[in-house]
Amino acid sequence: MTLLVFGFLAYLLGSVSFALIASWIFNLPDPRSYGSKNPGATNVLRTGKKAAAVFTLAGDAGKGWLAVFLAQYYAPLWGLGDESIAVVAMSVFLGHVFPVFLRFQGGKGVATAVGVLLGLNLWIGLMAIATWMLVAIIWRISSLSAIVAAILTPVYTVGMLGFGNNTFAVLLMSLILIWRHQSNIVNLLTGKEGRINEKKSSDS
């Protein structure tokens, strides 16, 4: 029962959309009304308000990290094992991707996944970020960066943590991230995917 409560609270935290909060604070249009219509940092950046995009990125990543951090602290106090960390990690991620507050139409989960990774293991999180940045620097395509990072991060996790509950959670997040980028994958294969800072680029 306690594990379900942990998961439910993490899901609610993940459902908080910082893209919408940023849009309200900076007096911007609803991110679901323009661009990719995805409530994420990349789409918010299309407004030209870099501060709003940074706020969105920090907020979405921060909630992923916070959920895992709190679970790591409170799980032992409530007699829960490592499986609770994995449940919370998945729950906060799913909350962002399928938020109850937005009729289950959320972002693609890249920033929140990074926050979760940083919470689970700092080095894994940093390697995922480094992978995203390297691909972005070379090809300047946000979605490609996210997809490559999603593919490689489970490999990093197995190398750092071995096979376990947290590794399984990371694998599931990666698979969902790749699935959420299916339209981007089609655009990449047909040469239609936009590059970073281009108006037509697809959000990740």
Is residue 201 a part of any domain in this protein? no
* pLDDT one-digit tens code per residue, 171-198: 999 999 999 999 999 999 999 998 877 6
Is residue 197 a part of any domain in this protein? no
pLDDT at 138: 96
Per-residue pLDDT tens listing for the chain (204 residues):
899 999 999 999 999 999 999 999 999 999 999 988 999 998 999 898 999 999 999 999 999 999 999 999 999 999 999 999 999 999 999 999 999 999 999 999 999 999 999 999 999 999 999 999 999 999 999 999 999 999 999 999 999 999 999 999 999 999 999 999 999 999 999 999 988 776 544 444
Is residue 9 a part of any domain in this protein? yes
Domain count, the chain: 1
Is residue 55 a part of any domain in this protein? yes
- Closest to 185 (Cα-Cα) out of 141, 132, 129: 141
- Match 């996210």 to its residue by tokens: 146
Angle between helix axes 110-120 and 50-77 (nearest 10 degrees) is 40
Structure tokens at 105: 């139409």
- Report the distance separating Cα 165 and Cα 4, nearest Å: 16
Q: Supply the range of the domain harboring residue 115.
A: 2-190
Is residue 66 a part of any domain in this protein? yes
> Are 117 and 134 a contacting pair, CB within 8 Å?
no
Is residue 198 a part of any domain in this protein? no
pLDDT at 196: 78
- Report the distance separating Cα 34 and Cα 44, nearest Å: 9
pLDDT at 198: 67
Is residue 89 a part of any domain in this protein? yes
Is residue 196 a part of any domain in this protein? no
pLDDT at 16: 98
